[in-house]
Amino acid sequence: MSSERSDLPPLFRGQSLAEQAYQAIREGIATGLFGSGERVTERGLAARLQVSPTPVREALRRLEQEGLIERVSARQLRVVDHSAETLRELMLTGAALRAMEARFATHKITDAALDRMERLIDTLVNERDLDNSERMRLAREFDAEIERAANNPTLRSMIVSLSVVGQERRARSVESTATHPEVGRQRIRDHHDILAALRSRDPDLVERVFHQHAIAGVDLLLDDLD
C-alpha cells in the first residue's frame, strides 16, 4: 500500500496537529489501513494528512515509543509486525483493562443505559437478517455504553493504545461465527451475563464476567488470525 494516497482525513487547524496526526495514523494502524511491515515516510504521511512534516514527525515519535512504528532508515519507517506471542500478550492486557473499565462503570452506569444495552441484545437475538457489519455495530454500541459510564479517559487511552487488531480482522472473526453458530450464541449469552452483573451493581462480578467474555474474544480473534 503506497504511503502517497490521500485517504487519511485532513486535520483541523484549530486543534493540535501533532495530536491529530498521532490519532489518525494510530487509527490507521489499528484498523488495518496500514498493514504490518508496511513502510511509510514522514513526507508521504504529511501529504495524506495535508499538513507539514513537523506534526507528523512528532506523531511518529510517539508511535515509535509505543512500539507500533519502527525506523528503517533516517527517512523511512515501517509498521511493526508483531510476533504471535507479542500480539497475544497485548490483546490479553487489553482484555484485562477493559474488564477493569467495566468494573469502574458498575456504580456509575444509569438504569437508562442498562435498558439501552438490553434492547441492543434483543435486536441481536431477534433480528435474523442482520449482516455482520450491523452485528458489529450493535456489539460495539453495547461496549460503548460501558465506556461512557466508566468515564476514565486515562484508562481508555491505555486500552486504545493496545488495540492493534483492526476492524477488518474483527469483521472476519464475526464472519467465522456463521460457520460456528454456537460461538455466536455464546457471545450473546456473555452479553446477557454482563448486563445482569451490571444490574446487580457488584463490581467484582462485573469485572470477572466481562474478563471472561473479553478473553474469549481474544481467543476468537487469534483463531481467525491463525
Q: What is the C-alpha to C-alpha distance for residues 193 and 187, in angstroms, rounded to an integer?
A: 10
Give yes or no: residues 33 and 89 share one domain: no
| Cell numbers at 166, concatenated | 483492526
Domain that holds residue 146: 84-225
Give yes or no: residues 26 and 103 share one domain: no
> What pLDDT, on the 0 to 100 scale, is given for residue 169?
59
CB-based contact 53:33 (threshold 8 Å): no
> What pLDDT, on the 0 to 100 scale, is given for residue 193?
98
CB-based contact 30:164 (threshold 8 Å): yes
Q: Does 11 map to a domain? A: no
The answer to pTM > 0.75 is: no
Give yes or no: residues 61 and 123 share one domain: no
Given 79, 99, 124, which residue is the final one in a domain?
Answer: 79
> Distance between terminal CA atoms of the chain?
23
Helix, strand, or coil here: 148?
helix
Given 46, 79, 112, which residue is the final one in a domain?
Answer: 79
Domain count, the chain: 2
Closest CA to 77 of 29, 42, 25, 27: 42
> What pLDDT, on the 0 to 100 scale, is given for residue 108?
98
Q: Does 8 map to a domain? A: no
Q: Does 12 map to a domain? A: no
Q: What is the C-alpha to C-alpha distance for residues 202 and 50, in angstroms, rounded to an integer?
A: 48
CB-based contact 165:91 (threshold 8 Å): yes
> What pLDDT, on the 0 to 100 scale, is given for residue 214?
95
> What pLDDT, on the 0 to 100 scale, is given for residue 110?
98
> What pLDDT, on the 0 to 100 scale, is given for residue 67?
84
User: pLDDT (tens digit, 0 to 9) for every residue of the chain, 226 residues total?
Assistant: 444 444 676 666 656 899 889 888 887 887 678 888 899 999 999 999 999 999 999 999 999 988 889 999 888 899 988 777 887 898 899 999 999 999 999 999 999 999 999 999 999 999 878 887 888 899 999 999 999 999 999 999 899 877 766 555 555 566 666 667 788 889 999 999 999 999 999 999 999 999 999 999 888 877 755 5
> What pLDDT, on the 0 to 100 scale, is given for residue 212?
97
Given 79, 104, 131, which residue is the final one in a domain?
Answer: 79
